[in-house]
Structure formats: structure tokens, C-alpha cells
Amino acid sequence: MAIRAMPLGLASGIVANKHEASHFDGFASVAGLKSDAETGFLTRARQSPNLTLLTGVAVDDLVGDRENPQRFAAYT
């Protein structure tokens, strides 16, 4: 049987952090060493000049722009 790496969203430096390396669990990493919504998407999205993140707003649908597939609108 071949041994393969398990696809986990972990930073390679996690093994150097004793606390974080002791528990590869489903909880977010305060050191930013696990790929969670905050580190994997929200931080990068907040840096985007053409994106607005709204909190406390329910979204029913995301509709892509037919002319520009990189653009979409959220409908509430």
C-alpha cells in the first residue's frame, strides 16, 4: 500500500508550534496555521479593492454576470 499525504489545510510551519501541532482538529488556529474561513478566504477578500463584505445580511442567491464571470451579485 502506498502512503500518500492527507490533504489538510495546514501551514507547513505548524509543526514548529508545539501547541498547534499537538491537536490537528476542526478548530481554528489563533496562530493562523490552519486553513479556516478566516485565513483561507476572509482575510484575502478584505484586501480586495473591488469587494464589499456585509455582515448581518442574509443572502438568498448569488447570480453570476453573463458578460464577466468574475463578477456576481447577491440578492436578499
Instruction: Report domain extents, the chain.
Output: 1-35
Residue 14 dihedral angles phi and psi, to the nearest 5°: -65, -30
Residue 5 has pLDDT above 70, yes or no: no
- For residues 36 and 9, the answer to whether their CB atoms sit within 8 Å is yes
pLDDT at 70: 79
Integer angstrom CA distances of residue 72 from 27, 32, 52: 31, 29, 12
Give the DSSP letter of residue 66: S
Cα–Cα distance, 71 to 76 (Å, whole number): 17
Q: Looking at residue 66, what is its pLDDT?
A: 83
Task: Tell me what pLDDT residue 33 has.
Answer: 83
How many residues does the structure list for the chain?
76
Work out the pLDDT band at 7, boundaries 50, 70, 90.
low
- What does the pLDDT look like over 10-53, one tens digit per residue? 787 888 988 888 877 777 787 878 877 777 777 778 888 888 88
